[in-house]
Amino acid sequence: MDINFEYYKIFYYVAKYKNITKAAAALGNNQPNVTRVMKLLEAQLNCKLFIREARGISLTEAGELLFSHVEIAYSHLLNAQEEIRGQNTQGYGTVEIGATETALHLFLLDALLGFKKKYPAVRIKIHNHTAPETLRLLTGGKLDFAVVTSPFEIPKAVRSEKILDFNEILVGGMQYRNLRHASLELKDLKDYPWVGLGRGTATYELYKNFFIGHKIDLEPDMEVATSDLLLPLIVNNLGIGFVPETLALPFLAEEKLIPIHINCKIPKRSLQMVSDQGRGKSLAADTLYQYFREKAAGQ
């Protein structure tokens, strides 16, 4: 099917803004021409791509499918264009990386600060999701690479390398100070309220299996979507929970949290850098990837 690629560019902007007028303005085009091109594209693809509504437009199922491919292709073309224009300039281009919340706080924020000082011209887009969702975006071609929290299922054709080990500890707010000096069995805590990451996260599955391994059927009384929400809830006495030790230390020092000692080993965790082996990286992405490797090796 011989479709003018300019149609896909216009479709990208219409789908992105979900508004013909805004898309036309971004393209430096006029509204009637954009509308005409979208009708031509629908005719050539023999399907309806948009549902026109009073406040704009929405995508049909076919439109969503097309956009999922066009978005990736357009992003790659823009990145290639930037690199070609700046190929004689060290550290130029755009990198799209995925990261879990824990990876952001334990590694990425510090590493990115150093990288941006060294390569200020590189643009970085961070997609913050759970490990399973981040891996889905990676294998779908929407990310250059990602840093995620173990454990996770490694899809085929995905390469993974460890960049950091970290420990988690069990903590509670000051309401649970009576537990501070005790050495407890896990079963002693099953009637306390727990705070944890929710279903669909690798951490939920990890601790679900951890509790089952100790013959305890325990579900969090309060579930959150990202790990940065755990500490505020625990500090405010809404339950006890496992958190990265590094992130808990300032709160322990300020006596906003108390450590809870249990007579069993808490699962080891790590941060892993993952990339698609079947897809090459841009110069900018590879520069950032190698910088992360060197940063991890120097820790």
Report residue 83's pLDDT band, with 50, 70 and 90 as the boundaries. low
Residue type, 162: K
Give the pLDDT confidence of 182-236 residue by residue, as tens digits: 789 999 999 999 999 988 888 898 999 999 999 998 889 999 988 888 999 999 9
Give the pLDDT confidence of 262-274 residue by residue, as tens digits: 999 999 999 999 9
- Residue whose structure tokens are 């303005």: 25
pLDDT at 82: 66
In this structure, are strands 269-276 and 158-166 parallel, antiparallel, or unpaired?
Answer: antiparallel
Domain 90-165+270-297 identical in fold to domain 168-267: yes
Determine the topology of domain 5-82 in CATH.
Arc Repressor Mutant, subunit A (1.10.10)
pLDDT at 52: 82
pTM greater than 0.95 = no
Give the pLDDT confidence of 61-76 residue by residue, as tens digits: 888 888 888 888 877 7
Q: What proportions of the chain, in percent to the nearest 5, are helix, strand and coil?
A: 50, 25, 30
Q: Is the pLDDT of residue 33 over 60?
A: yes
Report residue 124's pLDDT band, with 50, 70 and 90 as the boundaries. very high
Give the burial string for 95-108 (b: 16+ CB within 10 Å, else e). bbbbbbbbbbbbbb
Determine the topology of domain 168-267 in CATH.
D-Maltodextrin-Binding Protein; domain 2 (3.40.190)
C-alpha count within 13 angstroms, C-beta hemisphere, residue 272: 19
pLDDT at 89: 53
102 token code pair: 């824990």
Report how far residue 117's alpha carbon sits from residue 113's, in angstroms, rounded to the nearest whole number. 6
Give the pLDDT confidence of 131-169 residue by residue, as tens digits: 888 998 998 888 999 999 998 888 788 899 999 999 999
Superfamily of domain 90-165+270-297: Periplasmic binding protein-like II (3.40.190.10)
Tell me the average pLDDT of the chain. Answer: 88
Instruction: Sketch the domain layout of the chain as residue ranges.
Output: 5-82, 90-165+270-297, 168-267
pLDDT at 88: 46
